[in-house]
């Protein structure tokens, strides 16, 4: 809804907001932001950092309980939002107003109305000629570099969200690492549609272009494929990030035409495993490769990424940057190992195990949770490592392949079965593999656990079981229950909500039992 802003205008607006944020929350170290990916959202993020506050972008798509938990954990007493945005949330049935009772709510529209024309002009005239060090002395509020710059609450895909504390060095390191591997150019334009409460959207599509001096284009709804495509086309954006689910929408939408994405030179998928059908469909429709990245909120978030192949300048040799099915190599300054999940001893090449990550982007720890922090951060081999909870292996060329979350394995009859592998097997035999589905595991009195498949369209279980067997699928991988659901649970970031899906499966199976004669 905003007109374009140049660097001077954006900095002026940020400084004016920072002054007011500071004044309205003098005795508070943390400020909550409830805003979409937009000019206002980006400026409010910058202003919070300039005001010397720790910022928390609140996930407005999360459950009421998760939002309340974030407010309580981070001791947020003041929330910055927009009246227009609050109305939009109410129209979508998201009752956030009740959660903000007892909090100081700052509306950006009210702040804007209170800024005089003289203050706007005088600040803008100061911004233009003054050097950065003097602007910093006049307008910015310093904090200890060891204090968190931001607290990002994890996606909660497997349970209660955790508050991930990221320092200024964590964020700056990851910005520089990611910019380096993307080989950002002076004429690049970044498409920003991922939500600000998501680590990918916060660091990579918001802070990276601002720090690197690149234009960014905002679009508030990442699931609006035609809207994002239009936003790419108008300023000829060159770099776009998304999730597998979001990029699938580009493939399926008749309103998104190849010419609209012609300017893109790099498309990177993250936050969830990239589906092969999405990769192939995108290449077929747009003649663009999707490069897969890997990381976590705890790594600010990028740890590894696939890249286009490059030709060496001096030796005219091809430097391989990607292998389909892998998530690439570690970023500069980042170490990735695959270790035994119990002993944390490094495993040989191509042997699957626990993925651990070391580097300057690894978080400070979890907010007010020393026990979880101790479990997630380990020191060995003279380095500090984040224990990801992901199973994978590194091949002879140094490329990392993900297998699944350790939490996404079902133990059936003593065998560990990957739920992602179950989903892939089912997609291979159904008529329409694009219809969303998800496998979850539930307790079973006889086998320990059983696999339940949820899908947004009915399936003939008998026919599917026969097809799976004919494709050589092991009996233990064939789901015991096949449920049709209205919608597969998703988080606001687009990632699968595994905990929500498990609750949905339990509720639907319990209802079926009650209805059966």
Cα dist from 106 to 20, 21, 31, 94, whole Å: 10, 9, 10, 19
Write the DSSP string, 157-217.
TTSS--EEEE-HHHHHHHHHHHHHHHT--TT--EEE-S-TTSHIIIIIIIIHHHHHT--EE
3-class secondary structure, 311:
strand
Taking the C-alpha atoms of residue 336 and residue 402, their distance in angstroms, rounded to an integer, is 12
Check residue 45 and give its pLDDT.
Answer: 96
3-class secondary structure, 242:
strand
Taking the C-alpha atoms of residue 192 and residue 182, their distance in angstroms, rounded to an integer, is 16
What residue spans define the domains of the chain? 1-143, 320-395, 411-515
Taking the C-alpha atoms of residue 263 and residue 236, their distance in angstroms, rounded to an integer, is 5
The secondary structure element, H or E, covering residue 439 is strand 437-444
* 490 DSSP assignment: B
State the sign of the Cα–Cα–Cα–Cα dihedral 192, 196, 201, 204. positive
Model pTM? 0.84
CATH number of 320-395, picked from 3.40.50.450, 2.30.38.10, 3.40.50.2300, 3.40.50.300: 2.30.38.10
Taking the C-alpha atoms of residue 466 and residue 479, their distance in angstroms, rounded to an integer, is 12
Classify each residue of 115-132 as buried b or exposed e, where b means 16 or more C-beta atoms within 10 Å of its C-beta: eeeeeeeebbeebeeeee
481-484 and 78-81: which strand pairing? unpaired
Q: Which CATH class is domain 411-515?
A: alpha beta
Residues 6+ apart with CB under 8 A from 503: none
Check residue 1 and give its pLDDT.
Answer: 58
Q: Would you give the distance in Å from CA 290 to the centre of its chain?
A: 16
Taking the C-alpha atoms of residue 10 and residue 43, their distance in angstroms, rounded to an integer, is 7
Check residue 158 and give its pLDDT.
Answer: 55
Q: Would you give the distance in Å from CA 419 to the centre of its chain?
A: 21
**Cis peptide leading into 406, omega within 30 of 0?**
no
Check residue 517 and give its pLDDT.
Answer: 47
Question: Beta-strand (E) ranges in 48-100?
Answer: 54-57, 78-81
- The residue whose two tokens read 């990611």 is 178
Cα dist from 515 to 76, 451, 511, whole Å: 45, 22, 6
Taking the C-alpha atoms of residue 473 and residue 411, their distance in angstroms, rounded to an integer, is 17
Q: Report the CATH number of the 1-143 domain.
A: 3.40.50.980
Cα dist from 410 to 273, 405, 437, 450, whole Å: 18, 11, 17, 7
Determine contact, residues 274/244, Cβ cutoff 8 Å: yes
Check residue 157 and give its pLDDT.
Answer: 54
Determine contact, residues 9/215, Cβ cutoff 8 Å: no
Check residue 516 and give its pLDDT.
Answer: 46
Q: Which residues of the chain have pLDDT under 50?
A: 515-517
Angle between helices 39-50 and 7-24 (to 10 degrees): 60
The secondary structure element, H or E, covering residue 304 is strand 302-305
Give the residue among 208, 193, 192, 196 at the shortest CA–CA distance from 152: 196
Check residue 515 and give its pLDDT.
Answer: 47
Determine contact, residues 438/459, Cβ cutoff 8 Å: no
The secondary structure element, H or E, covering residue 24 is helix 7-24
The radius of gyration of the chain from alpha carbons, rounded to an integer in Å, stands at 24
The secondary structure element, H or E, covering residue 390 is strand 383-394
Length of the chain equals 517
């Amino acid at each position: 809804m905003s007109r374009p802003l140049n660097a001077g205008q954006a900095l002026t607006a940020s400084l004016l907001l920072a002054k007011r944020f500071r004044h309205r929350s003098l005795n508070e170290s943390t400020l909550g932001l409830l805003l979409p990916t937009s000019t206002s959202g980006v400026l409010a993020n910058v202003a919070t950092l300039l005001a010397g506050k720790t910022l928390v972008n609140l996930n407005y798509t999360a459950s009421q309980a998760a939002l309340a938990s974030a407010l309580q954990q981070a001791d947020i007493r003041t929330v910055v939002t927009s009246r227009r945005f609050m109305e939009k949330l109410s129209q979508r049935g998201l009752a956030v107003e009740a959660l903000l009772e007892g909090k100081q709510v700052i509306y950006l529209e009210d702040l804007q109305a209170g800024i005089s024309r003289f203050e706007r002009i005088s600040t803008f005239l100061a911004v233009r000629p003054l050097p950065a060090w003097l602007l910093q002395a006049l307008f910015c509020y310093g904090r200890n570099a060891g204090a968190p710059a931001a607290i990002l609450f994890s996606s909660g895909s497997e349970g209660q969200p955790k508050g991930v504390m990221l320092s200024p060095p964590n964020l700056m390191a990851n910005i520089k690492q990611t910019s380096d591997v993307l080989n950002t150019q002076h004429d690049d334009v970044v498409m920003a549609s991922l939500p600000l409460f998501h680590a990918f959207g916060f660091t990579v599509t918001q802070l990276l272009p601002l720090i690197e001096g690149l234009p960014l284009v905002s679009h508030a709804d990442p699931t609006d494929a035609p809207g994002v495509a239009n936003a790419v086309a108008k300023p000829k954006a060159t770099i776009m990030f998304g999730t597998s689910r979001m990029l699938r929408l580009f493939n399926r939408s008749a309103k998104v035409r190849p010419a609209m994405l012609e300017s893109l030179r790099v498309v990177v998928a993250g936050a969830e495993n990239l589906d092969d059908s999405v990769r192939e469909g995108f290449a077929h429709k747009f003649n663009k490769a999707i490069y897969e990245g890997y990381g976590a909120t705890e790594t600010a978030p990028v740890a590894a990424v696939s890249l286009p192949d490059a030709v060496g300048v001096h030796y005219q040799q091809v430097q391989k940057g990607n292998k389909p099915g892998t998530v690439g190599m570690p970023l500069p300054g980042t170490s990735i190992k695959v270790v035994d999940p119990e002993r944390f001893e490094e495993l040989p090449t191509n042997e699957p195990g626990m993925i651990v990550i070391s580097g300057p982007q690894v978080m400070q720890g979890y907010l007010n949770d020393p026990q979880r922090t101790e479990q997630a951060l380990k020191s060995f081999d003279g380095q500090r490592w984040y224990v990801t909870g992901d199973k994978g292996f590194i091949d002879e060329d140094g490329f990392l392949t993900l297998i699944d979350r350790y939490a996404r394995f079902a133990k059936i009859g003593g065998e560990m079965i990957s739920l992602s592998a179950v989903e892939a097997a089912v997609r291979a035999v159904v008529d329409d593999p694009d219809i969303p589905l998800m496998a979850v595991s539930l307790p079973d009195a006889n086998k320990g656990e059983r696999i339940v498949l949820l899908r947004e369209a009915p399936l003939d279980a008998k026919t599917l079981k026969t097809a799976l067997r004919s494709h050589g699928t092991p009996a233990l991988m064939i789901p015991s229950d096949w449920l049709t659901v209205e919608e597969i649970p998703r988080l606001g970031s687009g990632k699968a909500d595994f905990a929500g899906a498990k609750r949905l499966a339990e509720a639907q199976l319990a209802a079926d039992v009650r209805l059966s004669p």
